[in-house]
Every structure is written in structure tokens, then in C-alpha cells.
Chains A and B, each alone.
Chain A
Amino acid sequence: MLSFKEKDRPIVRKLLCAGCCVRCVLRFCCVGTCSAYRRSYEDIHKELLAFISEESSPQPHDASGEEKTDEPTNKRLRIDEGSTEGSVTAAQTDSDICPVCLGVLQDFCEPTFAKQVSDAVKNQQYEFDSLVLTVSLPAQLSVREHSCWLHVKKEIREKSMCLGKEDVIQVKDAFKWAVQGKIGQELGAAVLANSSCEVSVGFMHPETEEDCHFLANTCPDCFKPTKNKASIFTRMAVVKALEKISEEKFSRHYPCPPKKTNTRCTALDTTCLHTSVFIAGRYNKFSRELPQTPWVIDGERRMDGSVEELIAAPLLSSFRADGFNFSSSGREDVDVRTLGNGRPFAVELLNPHRAKFNRTEIKQLQETINQSSDKIRVRDLQIVTREATSRMKEGEEEKTKTYSALIWTQKAIDSTDLEFLANIKDLKIAQKTPLRVLHRRPLAVRPRLIHSMSSIYLDRHHFTLKLCTQAGTYIKEFVHGDFGRTKPNLCDLMKTNADILELDVESVDIDWPPAIPD
């Protein structure tokens, strides 16, 4: 049973006269219990009628300062017949569509619609145990709500009461309360205020789209011109304009209460969206002919395959995601191998239809990736939070990396010529943007540190150089000098022309993501 107060009686009467649906009436009576809106239309209607036909102690209709109001019993009959006290405009249609919610709180609150929504979600085959329901309503509903509120306000002000707009229950909330129980039941999931799975229900009403247009004339500064052909009457802009416009001005431009319509809202397709899932790990690259990301020039693929595609493909299919974003702590050239523990990476899987995986299943995914190609290897694969991925980008700028390079020298050398390299600590170098990346990077001079070096003599013109450097150091340019634009460089140190024949990344010194023991 709903508990009404005396002050609600004139509101209920006035709204029913104006053709409002029963749930909108409940809203303006500030009924805040969810279960009230779940009841059937007939049930609520019956109770409302019963309420307004109750008599309290007989009072004159226009007594001032009195809280209790009274109406003669023949009022109820008149309301039942659909005629009014004269507060409704002449141009009244016969339709029974609520002029405030345009049907959203009428047929769309029936179990059949809730089942329709649930079926649409089931068709998209998401796995979830909870969901959040979001509703989008056409902007003109705010205008109609405002109009109805003013209509009600006028009545109760005469009786020295007040009804704040914030006290009125919003259409969105009433709708959710009415349907979420049934939707949750159909889908076997809890409907919560927050969840990683979002089910969106939307409505539109083309017939009344122009209801908002007068606001552009009365409050022009609320409406910003849009870039594409989208309407300037966004929900936010309309709400803002309604806050600004005076009651008197509004009433001049828009009928209070709002006029009835011939059609009700149409429901848009139900859409689902799951928040992204992040998978992190470390990768090794064993091929010297594999780019990290797809290599495309002028729309043409230059080289088949890429590290990111090899890692993401099995993840995309297991998580049934729509797409992915790959990022890593730095990267290496096509012709450079990544050895040792590998380079940290994170894959953001977009709109995954399945998001729950246990450790064993993730281990299995790691195996699948490793079996798919001998060009890469992945370890420490795990699900991480979005926040955790920032640890990885930290590594890109702050941490050190170690390399191994095969060096050719123009002059003949013997092993004693290399000894001095081991004694060099924290060598400061200045690198102008290398010519090979200058087309897509700004021209700048980068100070960098070569922390330490060591060497392994191979023959008179070759040796292996191991280096530990600051993040962001261009190793190839340090070796050959890049037209003298990296200073000092290995040619300067060794006093000969030198070139780099092969480069390997030996380690990326960052301790994220956490190691997963086998």
C-alpha cells in the first residue's frame, strides 16, 4: 500500500486531469520506494483513485492557510469520465499517452519490454554476474517535466506549500525501478549501481523533437554550435537552459501542463558494453624480421606479422573482444632481438564478451601464444588493472636497459684496444634526433648516459659490445655517430670508423609486471 499525504491529493488530481500516467503521478508525489513502480498500472491506478476520493474533514475549497483540502464527491466521477476542472487546454487529444514521460513509464514498464531487453542482451552473448542499467531519454522530456512541475507548483503554492524540482523522482529512476527486477531475473544477474557490464536502453520521440527549439531563442548562450551535423539540443544544454529561464518566460513559450501527443516514444536497440580488460606480460622477440607493430606505408603492408598481432590474436578470440590497444615499455627496431626476461607490455581488450579467467586459463593462453610462433615468446601473462599499466610507462623514461651489439671497426684491432671501454662509467653523450626518425620526431638534442660497457674480442675487425644505458638512448647512432650528430660516439672513442652489424636487447630493467613462477 502506498502512503500518501494530504498535500498530495491536489497534485494527484491535477496530474490525472492533465492526462499523466500513474507512475508520473507517483513521481510528483515524491514516492521513493522502488516497489511502488513495479506494481502493475491497474494496481497503481486503483489506489490513486481510491486516494483522491477519500474525504478528510469537510473544508471549503478556497480556505486559505489550511493544509487540508477537500473536493466534492462528484469530482471523482468527473475525473473518471476524463473531463476536467478547466485547467486543461482546449486542444486535448484522445490518446492516453502520458504527456510528461511520453509512454516511457507506461507500456515500457511492462514485463514484456523487460523481456525484450533481456533477450537482446542474451543474443549478444556476454558473460557477467552483474550489470548496470543506463537509460537515455530524449531531451524534450526535460522540457515536459519542467512544464508539468510548474503546473503543479502553481496549484500548491496557492495552498502555501512547496515542491522542489529535486524532490520529484526522475523519470530515469522510476523506469529503472520498474524494470530492473525483471531484467535481473531474466538474465540471472544482479542489477547494481556500478558494474563492469553496462546495458543501455534508449528512447527517442521524433514527433516532439521541436519542443526544445524555443529555448534556443530564450537562452541562446546555452547552446553551442556543433562541429558535425549533430543537434545542438543536447540533454545537458537543455537542462542548463531550463535552469536559467524564468517561470514567466517559460510559460509564455510552452504550455503548462504539456500537450498530449499522438505517438509514444520508440525504443532504440538495446546495447551492451563491457569495460576493458587489461592483460600484461613480458615478451621476447627472436626474429630480426618482425616489427613490433604492423608496418604499413601508403596503405600497403611492408612486412608480414608483428609482435602485437601475434600476442593479441589468441587473446582477442578467448575474451571475445571487439578490438585491442597494445602498449609496451619502449620498443625495438624490426632487426633487433629482445632477449633475457623480455620487455613489459599491456594489451587493452575492448568490450570483451567474456572477462573472467582463472590462473590456469591464463597460463593456457600463454602457452597458446608461445606455440603459435617461434618468433616471439611471452611470460608472466596476467590480468591487471588499468591503473597498474602506468607502472609500465614509468619504465620507459626512467629505467635502464642493457644491450649487446656486434661491432665492425675499419681499423684492425686486438683485444688490448678494447680494455679501456670497461673503465668508462656514466659517459655523457648528446644525441641530436637521429636522421632515421627525424621525419616523425621533433629536432632536439637529447642528453643521455652510457652507464657502463664491456667487450668481447672476436677478430681484427669485429667485437661484441655490451652496454648498460639510460632509457631512450639510440644505440645504433651511438656506435656509428649518425653523421657526427651523436657526440661522443664509439668512432670517437675508438678513433676509427665503426658500424653496428647486429643489436640485441639483453634486459629491460623494470620489475613490472610481477613475475609468475611456472
Chain B
Amino acid sequence: MEDSEKKAPSVIDRYFTRWYRTDLKGKSCEDHCILQHSNRICVITLAESHPILQNGRKIKNINYQISDGCSRLKNKVSGKSKRGGQFLTEFAPLCRITCTDEQEYTIFSCIRGRLLEVNEAILNKPDLLLEKPSTEGYIAVILPKFEESKSVTEGLLTREQYEEVLTKRNQQEEPC
């Protein structure tokens, strides 16, 4: 066995495909990463290029109450078919994150599907989102409709396409 940091593929590499949506709602660099499991369940996370994760920013507040009538925390699913989960479209807001520099960011669903859960651990420990955005700092888990399992990622970028976007940005030196 190798005595090094290099190792076999991680849990994400083994079970998930990475998809990306960049510049959500036209806001520069607000990139999301959607981890799609082979069983079609999707985990919504911040992409590594998202502004929240840059320049040592700190989080002041995470709010799942996205409107007067709707809090993602109130989402309750029951049974195998996950009845009761809020149905989301691509631009449905999941939460609003305010940083200590008063910048506010909205995190979006990016895909159509039923909301299964939002990550409550980051409410208590926002640093999780900063330290482990791809694992323990995930935002939400969404179950697409069975008939839409394949089509749900149409319109999302693959890892390669995302990296091309990043390269182009660096060349244009856009501030993030």
C-alpha cells in the first residue's frame, strides 16, 4: 500500500458526478456545484469559485426563511416516495447567506425536483460551509422526478466545461 497522500477515489468520485451552474441569475462568479449520485439524488453545494469561499470571508448568518410564507426548514417528507417535500424549480432559492462584510448571497436549487432536506448543521456551525463546502458543508438534498432523472442535468456544465469557464475568467481578470 502506498505511503502517500495520493489515494483511491473519494466517496464523491466513486458515487457522484459533478455538474455546475455558473453566474447564477447573472451574478458574476456565483457558481454552484451539483453532486449527482448514481441513484439520481442530487446534493447542492457551493462551487469552489463562489465568492463566499474567497478571500477569507466569514459568515454572519444563514437564513432558510426565503419568504414570509416559506421556510426551507419546515420542509417535511414522509414515506418512501418522499411525499410532502417542497417542489423546486431551477431558480427556487434555498437560503440566503450574509457574510460579515454585509454581502448577501442567495443559493439556488439549480435543478427541478423535490426538496428532501436542507443542511441544518451549517446553521449551528457556519464554518463547516467554509471548510468543507463539498461534503459536510452541503446546502441541500434534492430528489428529481423519476422521469426527469436524465434530463435534469441538461443545461448544467460538466467539470471540463466549468474549468473552461474559470480559465476564461482568469484571462479576463474578473473580480470575484
Mark interface residues in A463-492 (1 if CB within 8 Å of B CB, else 0): 000000000000000001111100000000
Q: Which of B6-14, B65-73, B155-163 contacts A (4 or more CB under 8 A)?
A: B6-14
Mark interface residues in A357-375 (1 if CB within 8 Å of B CB, else 0): 0000000000000000000
Known contacts being A439-B41, A443-B77, is A459 close to B3, with CB within 8 Å? yes
**Bound CA span A480–B7, Å:** 14
> Is the C-beta of B27 less than 8 angstroms from some C-beta in chain A?
no
Q: Which residue of A lies closest to B85 (CB)?
A: A443
Chain B interface: which size bin?
20 to 34
* Beyond A442-B78, A443-B82, A461-B7, 4 extra complex contacts between A and B, CB < 8 Å: A443-B117, A459-B1, A484-B136, A501-B8
In the bound complex, residues from chain A placing their C-beta under 8 Å from that of B41 are 435, 438-439
> Is the C-beta of B172 less than 8 angstroms from some C-beta in chain A?
no
In the bound complex, residues from chain B placing their C-beta under 8 Å from that of A440 are 39, 80
Q: Which of A410, A461, A484 contacts B121 (CB 8 A)?
A: A484
A300 to chain B: closest CB distance in Å?
15
Judge whether B40 and A439 touch: CB under 8 Å. Answer: yes
Judge whether B1 and A439 touch: CB under 8 Å. Answer: no
Judge whether B143 and A484 touch: CB under 8 Å. Answer: no
B11 to chain A: closest CB distance in Å?
5
Q: Which of A432, A436, A483 contacts B39 (CB 8 A)?
A: A436
Judge whether B80 and A441 touch: CB under 8 Å. Answer: yes
Judge whether A461 and B80 touch: CB under 8 Å. Answer: no
Q: Which residue of A lies closest to B42 (CB)?
A: A435
Judge whether A484 and B135 touch: CB under 8 Å. Answer: yes
> Is the C-beta of A345 less than 8 angstroms from some C-beta in chain B?
no
**Bound CA span A239–B18, Å:** 66
Judge whether A438 and B1 touch: CB under 8 Å. Answer: no
Judge whether B79 and A408 touch: CB under 8 Å. Answer: no
B75 to chain A: closest CB distance in Å?
10
B72 to chain A: closest CB distance in Å?
14
> Is the C-beta of B96 less than 8 angstroms from some C-beta in chain A?
no
Judge whether A483 and B135 touch: CB under 8 Å. Answer: yes
- Please give the residue numbers on chain B whose beta carbons come within 8 Å of chain A beta carbons, in ascending order: 1-5, 7-8, 10-11, 15, 37, 39-41, 43, 77-80, 82, 116-117, 119, 121, 128, 132, 135-136, 138, 141, 143
Mark interface residues in A46-67 (1 if CB within 8 Å of B CB, else 0): 0000000000000000000000
A374 to chain B: closest CB distance in Å?
26
Interface of A is mostly: loop
A368 to chain B: closest CB distance in Å?
36
Mark interface residues in A488-518 (1 if CB within 8 Å of B CB, else 0): 0000000000010100000000000000000
> Is the C-beta of A462 less than 8 angstroms from some C-beta in chain B?
yes
In the bound complex, residues from chain A placing their C-beta under 8 Å from that of B11 are 480, 482, 499
Known contacts being A438-B116, A442-B80, A483-B138, is A461 close to B4, with CB within 8 Å? yes
> Is the C-beta of A458 less than 8 angstroms from some C-beta in chain B?
yes
**Bound CA span A241–B171, Å:** 88
Q: Which residue of A lies closest to B116 (CB)?
A: A443
In the bound complex, residues from chain A placing their C-beta under 8 Å from that of B117 are 432, 443
> Is the C-beta of A446 less than 8 angstroms from some C-beta in chain B?
no
B81 to chain A: closest CB distance in Å?
9
Judge whether A461 and B3 touch: CB under 8 Å. Answer: yes
Q: Which of B1, B10, B37, B79 contacts A499 (CB 8 A)?
A: B10
In the assembled complex, 20 residue pairs joining A and B whose CB atoms fall closer than 8 Å, in A order, are: A435-B37, A435-B43, A436-B37, A438-B141, A439-B37, A439-B39, A439-B40, A439-B41, A442-B77, A443-B82, A443-B117, A458-B1, A461-B1, A461-B7, A462-B1, A481-B136, A482-B11, A483-B135, A484-B132, A501-B8
In the bound complex, residues from chain A placing their C-beta under 8 Å from that of B82 are 442-443
Enumerate A391-445 residues with CB–CB distance to B below 8 Å. 408, 410, 432, 435-443
> Is the C-beta of A460 less than 8 angstroms from some C-beta in chain B?
yes
In the bound complex, residues from chain A placing their C-beta under 8 Å from that of B7 are 408, 410, 461, 499
**Bound CA span A437–B41, Å:** 9
In the bound complex, residues from chain A placing their C-beta under 8 Å from that of B8 are 408, 499, 501
**Bound CA span A460–B7, Å:** 12
Q: Which residue of A lies closest to B135 (CB)?
A: A483
In the bound complex, residues from chain A placing their C-beta under 8 Å from that of B143 are 438-439
**Bound CA span A439–B169, Å:** 37
A486 to chain B: closest CB distance in Å?
11
In the bound complex, residues from chain B placing their C-beta under 8 Å from that of A432 are 117
In the bound complex, residues from chain A placing their C-beta under 8 Å from that of B128 are 484
**Bound CA span A481–B5, Å:** 20
**Bound CA span A365–B128, Å:** 57
In the bound complex, residues from chain B placing their C-beta under 8 Å from that of A436 are 15, 37, 39
In the bound complex, residues from chain B placing their C-beta under 8 Å from that of A439 are 37, 39-41, 143
Judge whether B79 and A442 touch: CB under 8 Å. Answer: yes
A302 to chain B: closest CB distance in Å?
11
B8 to chain A: closest CB distance in Å?
6
Residue of A432, A439, A461, A480 most packed against chain B (CB within 10 A)? A439
In the bound complex, residues from chain B placing their C-beta under 8 Å from that of A482 are 11
A466 to chain B: closest CB distance in Å?
18
Q: Which residue of B lies closest to A489 (CB)?
A: B136
Q: Which residue of B lies closest to A458 (CB)?
A: B1
Q: Which residue of B lies closest to A409 (CB)?
A: B7
